[in-house]
Amino acid sequence: MPQLEPISPARLVETFSALLPSGRRCVAVVDGPDGADPVDFAYRTSAFVSSTGRPCDVVDLHDFVRPASLRFEYSRTDEITYRTSWFDFDAIEREVIAPLRPGGRGQFLPRLWDEKSDRSARATLREAAQTHVVILAGPMLLGRGLDVDATIRLDLSAGALRRRTRPEDQWTIEPLLTYYREMDLRQGTASAGPALWVRWDHPDRPAVRLR
């Protein structure tokens, strides 16, 4: 069993923020199933970073889903599709990450696709300051080979995942458990995983895995 150390939610935000490289644009990832609400944690981190005077934005992975014709090609609850082609990670790399790298255009796209209306989000490019931070948040972001600077994983036990997942999304539980289990096996050791691995069953009482 991994050794865990309790940490306050506010201290966790500060600890994650301290991983962000200074003096340049950077991209961070908050990985976690929707039941862990990684977007909320990303916004709390963004608020803290912004309070230090550094520009910071959040990009929700659900704003980079593929069109319904691709997501629902086999069924609306196809588990393999959810794990492999529900989200457009190529677009994330192309429209969010690459523009912030040296030689990039310096403008990133905050939203690509409206999941509810199944239409283009029609978002305009956003200018990135020289020290801009963009935080990507959503499920199954780690293990995709994305070129990012700081990572945190909000991990839920199987029981907590079932309790905290909406009834209409319960079908995503098994593919999520499969994805993270396989990712852990691929990584082999904790040192190959996210910079911060957090037990998130109780967000008011998180615990960080010690390396």
Q: What's the confidence (pLDDT) of residue 1? A: 56
Does residue 143 lie in a domain region?
Answer: yes
How much is the pLDDT for 3? 87
SS3 14: helix
- Identify the pLDDT of residue 211: 60
158-201 pLDDT, tens digit each: 999 999 999 999 999 999 999 999 988 876 544 456 899 999 99
Would you say residue 207 lies in a domain?
Answer: no
The answer to whether position 152 is within a domain reads yes
Domain at 146, CATH number: 3.40.50.300
Domain presence at residue 87: yes
pTM of the model: 0.95
State the Cα–Cα distance between residues 30 and 122, nearest whole angstrom: 25
Q: How many domains does the chain have?
A: 1
Asked if residue 211 belongs to a domain, the reply is no
Distance (Å, rounded) from C-alpha 167 to C-alpha 87?
A: 21
- Are the beta carbons of 90 and 147 closer than 8 angstroms? no
Give the chain's residues under pLDDT 50. 189-191
Domain that residue 15 falls in: 4-199
Q: Contact, 142 vs 22, CB < 8 A? A: no
